[in-house]
Chains A and B, each alone.
Chain A
């Protein structure tokens, strides 16, 4: 167990470093490029272009919160100390709502949609992938191009086609929102059913595209494993193929766990855009609206939260991986 603690410590240190870099970039990038949003805001205030009182008030709040007239390193310290106190500023678009409040109410929807979708697509994709590698011939020849094609459709493109097909043309599912528009979120059965109904289309459009990508990776890993020496040896020991495929599945799926962690960023990105198509009340829609309204504090909050989410998910995957793969466990002992 000592070795595992070492593994953990190094992973934690690594993720803390990555997180610091992420925070830094989140602060720096929108302030560095000429014509950036922050300097635009500053110039609007100073030149009196923020004509109406309300806009002026909005910008001034921002200036006060982030100390825009101070040197950039001081601004960074203010930014970090704000973050530590859980303050991401006040939204421009939904003034005077706090950015953290808006994010808190939308992240539940995003996690609720994406976590199950990504896990389900990962499991289904891996099972199909190992089957395609093992059965080969017809199965592989048909499935491979199909998977590949599906994985090439952006999930939001898939989503828009699905809305049109199932919600507009066939009318068997609601087209948008996280629940019926005439409802108020409450712990009732009818609300729950409405959520479930609205869940289907976004869920499956993320799952189907994910299956494509995951199964391709798994197929390749499995083909690699099926060619490994131990497979031949097990066959020559007279073991059943079903048993050997189980070994192969386990060995191929372990790297797929890391594979999942690494493709998480892309998958989450695609899934966030999918939310826009469905006007799903998650982070994706919030980010989209924030961009449209040039609501800079909210954009910045979204990007930081999404990055953090991806980092946490990656970290958890790494921890789990270290626990279940004996190859890692032992490598740490040496």
Chain B
């Protein structure tokens, strides 16, 4: 495993992705310590252009765009990580049990998975969000997590099936280990790298889902996220007033976070699937 970690860092893509991500994370963590301004407080006039006091200007509500961006980035990232963790866990449980148990259980689980891959998760997200009248960012994260697991489930299932009949698994079977123990001891370690990569992608797609749902006006309330910032900018026609500072930063922030995550994922993929390495 040690060798693995070393090779991970030999992948340039992973390094760059990690560097960008770490930098963004550092900003998100450190900035609020230095500037304690409330991101939701309307201290300025509408769409004030960037200046010495306001590095990124103000938004349609007269809020400090930079403070808002950092706070929004933080909330979006938390939503992404929470949603990603939930989706990965559900996907893992469904994929592992279907793939390992096989038979009827697998038939049912993989049918359900495939159905939810074809039905756009975005639609289910809308249907659920519409029904919840007060949404905190936690609710949003939960809903995203519960709608985006099918991809992970499918991938984990495929991996599990390929492992199911390996010698070490059979050995554990004849040794009389219980099914959960076999799954945890003999299968999980072999797909751990894969699950880690799936999690990274789920975080990225969680952030994008938040932005999508917020654009529709179904985002979390009483908070600021990157998606909400974009939603406000669109509703108040920041682009028509030429107030680029109201939407370019959140767009870039979304792109940078997901880009760094995707880059890390690609780097890991090259390490763990050497075929793509050359």
Contact = CB atoms under 8 A, between A and B. Distances in A.
Q: Do A and B come from one complex?
A: yes
Contacts of A18: 114-115, 118-119
A26 B127 contact: yes
Binding site secondary structure of chain B: helix
Nearest to A302: B126
B228 interface: no
Contacts of A21: 115, 119
B208 A227 contact: no
Nearest to B218: A291
B77 to A, nearest CB: 14
Interface in A1-45: 14, 17-18, 21-22, 25-26, 29-30, 32-33, 35-37, 40
Given A33-B132, A35-B132, A310-B118, A270 B212 contact: yes
- Counting chain A residues whose Cβ lies within 8 A of the other chain, the interface size class is 35 or more
A311 B115 CA distance: 10
B131 A154 contact: no
A255 to B, nearest CB: 14
Contacts of B244: 161, 164
Nearest to A158: B251
Interface stretch (B169-177, B191-199, B233-241): B233-241
B9 to A, nearest CB: 18
B211 interface: yes
A152 interface: yes
A134 interface: no
A103 to B, nearest CB: 14
Given A154-B208, A157-B230, A306-B123, A314 B118 contact: yes
Contacts of B275: 223-224, 227
Interface stretch (A66-74, A192-200, A260-268): A260-268
B266 interface: yes
Contacts, number: 156
Interface string A91-117: 000000000000000000000000000
B59 to A, nearest CB: 14
B150 to A, nearest CB: 10
Nearest to B111: A17
Interface centre among A152, A223, A262, A310 (most CB of B within 10 A): A152
Interface of B: 111, 114-115, 117-124, 126-128, 130-133, 204-205, 208, 211-212, 215-218, 230, 233-234, 239-240, 242, 244, 247-248, 250-251, 254-256, 258-259, 262-263, 266, 275-276, 278
The 10 residue pairs across chains A and B that have the minimum distance between CB atoms: A265-B120, A269-B122, A157-B251, A164-B239, A152-B258, A33-B131, A29-B127, A36-B131, A152-B259, A153-B255
Interface of A: 14, 17-18, 21-22, 25-26, 29-30, 32-33, 35-37, 40, 145, 148-149, 151-154, 156-158, 160-161, 163-164, 167-169, 175, 220, 223-224, 227, 262, 264-266, 268-270, 273, 276-277, 287-288, 291-292, 296, 299, 303, 306-307, 310-311, 314
Given A25-B119, A265-B119, A273-B215, 7 more contacts: A26-B127, A145-B263, A152-B254, A158-B251, A265-B118, A299-B130, A306-B123
